[in-house]
Structure 1
Amino acid sequence: MLSHEDNETLVRVGPGTTMGGLMRNYWLPIFASADLEKNAQPQTVKILDETMIIFRDSEGSVGLVDPVCPHRGAPMIYGRNEDCGLRCVYHGWKFNTKGDVVDMPAEPVRSRLKEKVKIKSYPCVERNGVVWTYMGPEDANNRPPLPNFEWNMVPDENVVITFRVQECNWLQALEGEIDSAHAAILHGRIDGGGSVNQWVQARDLRPRFECIRQDFGMSIAARRELDDKTLYWRVNQFVMPFYSMVPPQANEFYELSGHAWVPIDDETTLCLMFSYRPNEPLHPKSRPVFTEGFHGRETGHHSNPGHDDQGPEVPYGRYISKYRRETGYMFDYDSQKTKWFSGLPGLWVQDAACQSGVARVYDRTKENLCTSDTGIAMTRRMLLEVAGAYAETGKLPDRYADPDLYKVRALSLKLPVETPWADSGNVLMRADLGEPLGYEL
């Protein structure tokens, strides 16, 4: 279990908190580039418990600014996005993407007020369809470079990236994906059909775990027995500060996958999911299944039809799902009796219901952890050590600013019993752009 005090340290992310302060030193992926059109209405976002407005100006630059005009407090969500800036509708003050005032139509022409007033803003950059922001120290010279995550650098045809909102804190969501023990159970079927029941890990529901602390975070290896001579290893990765990565399945639709679990606030998470192949396009059927669902069910990705757009005034309103606590995650008891072990309509919905269905911030003092929770326990311990060092001295993890630290892959290996997975996997865990997996599925 986790003490109340330690849980508070890890899940509270607003301004002035330990974890929120730590995360502000990293670049944060916050929006899909395709969902921001030039001169379109701004959208409300919330990151680390700070509400902001995001927009794309007429030249294509992305701005992330305060939702309140610094003149008289009018809402900038109604601002006119025009002529390379966002203009407040109250008195016409206009701001560029850097937060500078570029026009004050009600002020004298020679007024120097423009030089003294700014709207709060954070820098944004885009890479391969994702908008990133940096909310740390204002000194641009001290910003780390963008992390070189493979999923954000492969060609468009190799990757699918989707966004959704989940109703729990970031750590509850993250822990669901680094937990390798639940997959074949929660996602299984009772009628014997479908590909899930063919997963290799379904052959052994009692995995043993080995965890290794890494410069990037934690490697969590689950060992399963295939036969007397062969072990099957699935190595999930936790990458600081909030990323998880899972290995491919052994089928023609294989891909590496994972999430960025970006804290919206203490109780809500922006879930960016990625699935990609490092050296070739995705299977032709994968993209439409990921983005549109499959026979009315969700995959690991949130489908476009599954969104319940709440409008631009609601933080991440366009990424809110119809599969949420309010709708009971569309649980179907009849399907639970006849077909699906969980009765929940798809992979990510099954995970989210278990992670979020009881409480947005679960009381972890009530937990009873067991051997299959080894990776979760060790990841929590590592996070508390990192958070403690940051709180006491301002120390950040070694190499956190090295963009190549994030070149990491999850692993799926079949090895002889006597072969240590770490020896075989050490090289294979490194993501060299354009290189194949390096092993057979």
Structure 2
Amino acid sequence: MISAEQNDFMTRVGPGTPAGQLLRRYWQPVALSDDLAGPRPIRPVQLMGQHFVLFRDDKGQLGMLDRDCPHRGADLAFGRLEDGGIRCAFHGWLFDAKGNCLETPAEPATSKLCTRIRQSAYPVVERAGTVFAYLGEGEPPAFPDFDCFVAPDSHTFAFKGLFECNWLQALEVGIDPAHASYLHRFFEDADTSESYGKQFRGASADSDLPITKVLREYDRPEISVEPTDYGLRLTALRKLDGSSTHVRVTNVVFPQAFVIPMSAEMTISQWHVPVDDTHCYWYAIFTSFTGPVDKQQMREQRLKLYELPDYTSRKNKRNNYGFNVEEQLTQTYTGMGDDINVHDQWAVESQGPIQDRTREHLGSTDKGIIAYRRMLVKAIESALAGEGAPMLIDAAQARTLTGPPSIDGIGQAGDANDYWQSADRERRLKSDWASARLSA
């Protein structure tokens, strides 16, 4: 157990909070590129309790500014995109993507007021269909050469969803390899040839064995946790018989992302980003090692499950997550449908807006969560002391951080490290873009 004070130390992220100071030193996903499609590419953004307006100006440049106009506080998210910036609808003050005030048209023609006005602006970049922003002081860290950032745009797809709970408990569901055997259990195995774009519905690599069957029938994984340059590597082993072992390798990328296998051909890189202390978005980048991603199919699959513009799940706590008792008895462990994100959402939202960790009792399978919390607390304390923290990297360091390897497959009993390293290399050798990087 931890104390209430320790819990607040890790979870609260508003301006001036210890964890908030740490997370503001990293790039944070704030929107999908798709959110800025259409005739009016403006989006209000709430991040770590602060309010911003994200926009693409009439020249295609991205900008993110504080949302309240510095004149009299009107909402810039209702502004007009014109004349090289965003214009407040109240009095017509115009700001460019850097926060410079270009015009104060209601003022006298001789006024120099605009030269003394500047709106707070934040660096923004696009990577793999996702817009990232940086709220911290000084230069932001470099983006690592991870697969999701170096794969061609054609081989990535991005999506997101809203969770109504604190970011930390949402992240921790991905640091728990044991839960998949229960929370995501299916009582019948679907046709794996129909699994494209669906998590835990395909076959494990190097076999035709459905992942659902492995998770259902082998529910006591042997879990190990290893520190890495980017965070943590988690390995879960399920011994199937005397000659084969199911190996699942997942990764925690500090401070708040994980990389997991979706199938033999695709991985998921997922961030849990605080909206405020009691809401967060998950942002997922799917990366294909084979052919281009069928983005239309992936998006259509998910739009059946989520409502825009806020990407709220159609199954949520207001309708009991679609719970069906007959389904729970005969089809799924939760009775909440096939979308594992809904399963995760129920699990973490049912813990409360901010989980009361003074009441929890961790077990041996929670070793990844324990290791991550220790890393998080140490990094927060370092940030408060003005020192460094994991993954605050420069361009040279970024080039050394690749992968990270994420595997779900079945190998011969023996050294699991040999298997997943070999499986990862073979996957890359078969991939046009990844094999080119191996030989570089």
Q: TM-score range by the shorter chain?
A: 0.7 to 0.9
Q: Does 1:305 align with 2:304?
A: yes
Tell me what 1:76 maps to: 76
Q: Does 1:242 align with 2:263?
A: no
Q: Does 1:410 align with 2:406?
A: yes
* Separation in structure 2 between the aligned mates of residue 407 and residue 192 of structure 1, nearest angstrom: 30
Q: Does 1:322 align with 2:314?
A: yes
Tell me what 1:232 maps to: 246
Tell me what 2:64 maps to: 64
Give the CA deviation at 1:428. 4.3
Tell me what 1:340 maps to: 332
Cα deviations across residues 309-340 of structure 1 (Å, max 9, x unaligned)? 3xxxxxxx432332322232222223222322
Q: Does 1:7 align with 2:7?
A: yes
Give the CA deviation at 1:38. 6.8
Shift in CA distance, 424/258, structure 1 to aligned 2, threshold 3 Å: closer
* Separation in structure 1 between the aligned mates of residue 253 and residue 224 of structure 2, nearest angstrom: 17
Identity %: 31
* Separation in structure 2 between the aligned mates of residue 416 and residue 334 of structure 1, nearest angstrom: 39
Q: Which runs of 4+ in 1 moved over 6 A?
A: 429-433
Residue 172 of structure 2 aligns to a residue whose secondary structure is helix
Amino acid at match of 1:306: L
From 384, 397, 401, the equivalent of 1:391 is 384
1:251-400 counterparts in 2 under 5 A? 254-282=265-293, 287=295, 289-293=297-301, 303-309=302-308, 317-345=309-337, 346-397=339-390, 400=393
1:198-217 counterparts in 2 under 5 A? 198-199=210-211, 200-217=214-231
Cα deviations across residues 70-117 of structure 1 (Å, max 9, x unaligned)? 111222222112222111121111111111111111222332221211
User: Contact 1:184 / 1:205 at 8 angstroms: preserved in 2?
Assistant: yes
Q: Does 1:145 align with 2:131?
A: no
Give the CA deviation at 1:399. 5.6
Tell me what 2:98 maps to: 98
Tell me what 1:88 maps to: 88
Cα deviations across residues 37-58 of structure 1 (Å, max 9, x unaligned)? 4761632111121111111111
Q: Does 1:166 align with 2:163?
A: yes
Amino acid at match of 1:275: F
Residue 318 of structure 1 aligns to a residue whose secondary structure is coil
Residue 373 of structure 1 aligns to a residue whose secondary structure is helix
Tell me what 1:299 maps to: none
User: Contact 2:428 / 2:435 at 8 angstroms: preserved in 1?
Assistant: no
TM-score by length of 1: 0.85
Residue 186 of structure 1 aligns to a residue whose secondary structure is coil
Question: Cα RMSD over matched residues?
Answer: 2.7
Residue 281 of structure 1 aligns to a residue whose secondary structure is coil
Which stretch shows the higher mean deviation, 387-396 or 268-277? 387-396
User: Structure 1: any 5+ residue segments left out of the alignment?
Assistant: 294-302, 310-316
* Separation in structure 1 between the aligned mates of residue 402 and residue 72 of structure 2, nearest angstrom: 43
Cα deviations across residues 289-323 of structure 1 (Å, max 9, x unaligned)? 53223xxxxxxxxx1133333xxxxxxx4323323
User: Contact 1:85 / 1:97 at 8 angstroms: preserved in 2?
Assistant: yes
* Separation in structure 1 between the aligned mates of residue 119 and residue 327 of structure 2, nearest angstrom: 52
* Separation in structure 2 between the aligned mates of residue 398 and residue 241 of structure 1, nearest angstrom: 8
Shift in CA distance, 13/114, structure 1 to aligned 2, threshold 3 Å: same
